[in-house]
Structure 1
Amino acid sequence: MTAGVMVIADPETHVTNAGIYRHHVFSKNTMGVWFLGAHHGGLIYKKYQKLGKPAPIAIAIGHHPAFVMGAVSRLQGIGGEYEAVGGLLGEPLELVKAETSDLLVPARAEIVIEGEILPDELHPEGPFGEWPGHYLGADSVPVIRVTCITHRSNAIFQDIVASGREHLMVGAIPRAGSIYHAVKSVVPSLRTVNVPVYSRMHCYLSLSKERDSDVKKAAFAALNTEQENLRAVVVVDDDIDVFNGEQVAWAIGTRFDAAEDLVVIPKWNGPGGLLPTNWESHADGSRTPKMSSAVIVDATKPAPPVRFPERTRVPMEHVESVKLELLQPFAAEDKERWLEQAT
């Protein structure tokens, strides 16, 4: 299952966390759950594991797109996803108590699978084609024992095409919003954030730089929001459209000096996970998990009062002064005359 939103509550604070995790179905009443790094669901599971108790969970399948987007947003601290969903919906998310636990689950979900993560049982899982575009996994994961399934009449089973464009968009768009809020709280001059769908490992930030230190502060705030997946943060000035890859590339080519403006952060990601570079591949086909690096690319102009060369542009007042009604249409006889001259 690739689009199920798993709900789990912290045993200490009772705060509810929701997130999408992949679930390999093992049998009629057992499935796996794959956690990575700082996934809040995984941190909560470990608390139950230390207590020697199973962790009650519920998996909601099929709901409004805002529910999926809110569930995969990266929020500070454990919990808050239901509130994020309500913000996207423009109204509170309707909830109802689960059948076999005290968890609150979406009342309008198509299907709800209830169960518990066993504290002392693992099962081989994968490999699985994940969003970076490679098959990874083939590891042992915690086991969920299913206790109850409820559904609407003629329920719709929602799925996400793994490693497809939908998978990339579901991850990129909400994370960009989470990064925006995290960076904005550190660098108020932040303008725009783009986590490009074609490369979710990258993040482009534009800001109106007031101090040269703004770049590193903004970049580290972004990296700490999406710790497992971001590999490169590119920071540009506010005259660059971060949704235009050509403009970002131009800024790197004209405002970035690798000797001074590149920061390499060793051993930032991993060990292991979804990115192939977090694994050491061997000739026999086996892999060993390892750490890998991240980079910060400062493609901004120097902060004031330094004067940097201006971009070449046609002044806007000249563009607006053009009188389009005076332009003559390119008639057929003009075309024939032009072709004759050309030959």
Structure 2
Amino acid sequence: MSESIVIGMDAADLPTPVLVVNAGVLRRNIAEMGAHAAALGVALRPHWKTTKSAEVARLQLNAGSVGHTAATVAELAALAGGVSPSVFLAYPPVGRFRVGTVIEASRTAKVIVGADSVDAVRDLSDAAAAAGVVIPVRLDIDTGLHRTGVVPEVAVAAARAVAILPGLHLDGVWTHEGQVQAAGTDPVERHRRGVRAGEVLVAVAEAIRADGHEVRSVSVGSTPGVRSAPTVPGVTEARPGTYALGDENQVHIGTIAPEDVAVSVHSRVISTQPADWAIIDAGIKAMSSDGSMHGDGRIGTVISDGGGVVITGHEEHGFLQGADDPRVGEVVRIRPNHACGVVNMHHRIVVVEDDVVTGLWSVLARH
């Protein structure tokens, strides 16, 4: 596909399905989040799993980000390889391949790791001591999501155990307040959950300090919670990711305006034979199968003229329902449920301005 896409091409002529990002909207989102973090006086460390793009990472750094957050060691290695000066691996460094990548990446960038137990960092401790390096560690705190993280009641004991391990340095605490998104379309409840997550994390940090340990970083992270959790005094860092591109789920719950979504998938109608739907060339391999906050199982929402919903998908076929007189060959633009998932399905981002192709950016560290 890449050979048939050239700079200056009209977006209407792109081979489909194709991942497209509006450069103007992307730049605006990055600038606005940089200004928001600066106004709060917190460091901004965007989660890079959303874009997996070196070009976007550099735009974020230019807008004031202190570094980036990674979900995988593949992302860590890509970022540490000359893209970002500081990377927080927000995932337990369990397994030889993760430990080895952390040590190697620490030679070219400042690397911080997150974990919720001594067992999760014991091998890293041994490897760091053997390599003669010191790796900062942030203790993962469960503030309500119930995925990973120690409960606040045992956080001091966990921090004490991590702090004595050789080759490691207790840097601070962190959380992913994913429970904010689970509040759905209720803005009051979303704000309450975000503030509560920030308050819990700050209280844990203060308790660890009272136990005699330095806590430099108090880090929260989510796009739905970025207007609430980082406003709590004592929070030092925010790690939103989806904000850069936006997606349908964020539009639906009201955390991102429709005009602030930079990403879409362009697809063509390939069949109108069934009476109940049209078939497009964007199935789950183009859209991903990430769930919809609408609760109706859709894998995407059409935002171009004619409308409709991609109600489900096979690998290479999407089922478009509710469109106004779809025609074979017609191009539809689809807003994906989840930006992070859909980017990972593609090897390249086509960047457009005024519906003209201005860039081709590689998607790195796919898995």
Same fold (TM over 0.5): no
Give 1 or 2: higher strand fraction: 1
Which has the greater radius of gyration?
A: 1
Give 1 or 2: higher helix fraction: 2
What's the TM-score, normalizing by structure 1?
Answer: 0.26
What's the TM-score, normalizing by structure 2?
Answer: 0.25
